[in-house]
Amino acid sequence: MIVVLGLLGLLGLAVHVSFAVGLSAWAVRVAKQRGGAYRYAIALPGVGFFASMAGGMLTLMGLIHAFGAVANAPPDVRASALADGISEAMNGTAYGLVAAILLYLTSAILSSVGSRRAREAR
């Protein structure tokens, strides 16, 4: 079971990396054609990937903190400490993913507009 979950995690990471690389390649092509402000679109997928990885790290740190709090808490507050820690961990995940999605969408929109304008200029 652990092997299957590990493979699914690696598959998700591979999809995420390929998505970021694909958006970066598209942004590079548009930046070469259009120049100007489109140069900044190249960095957006990389920053989005970093944001999602930071969200994953926040999840791990939150879960470590949650289980550490449970280990040191008296029995009557363990459930509350665990729930608070898990909530904190999931908030980290949500913030990282929302930031990554917004950065990816911004990159895709800028690249799409740049591609369309480059086609119209020809």
- Residue spans of the domains in the chain: they are 2-121
- Span 14-33, mean pLDDT? 84
Q: What's the rounded Cα separation, in Å, for the pair 110 and 122?
A: 19
Neighbours of 36 (CB within 10 A): 8
Judge whether residue 22 has pLDDT over 80.
yes
Q: What's the rounded Cα separation, in Å, for the pair 99 and 107?
A: 12
- Please write down the long-range contacts of 30-35, taking CB distance under 8 Å and 24 or more positions apart: 30/110, 30/111, 30/114, 30/115, 30/118, 31/114, 33/114, 33/115, 33/118, 34/114, 34/117, 34/118
Q: Are 12 and 53 in contact (CB under 8 A)?
A: no
- Span 68-94, mean pLDDT? 87
In this prediction, residue 2 has a pLDDT band, given cuts at 50, 70 and 90, of confident
Judge whether residue 70 has pLDDT over 80.
yes
pTM tops 0.85, yes or no: no
- Span 9-28, mean pLDDT? 83
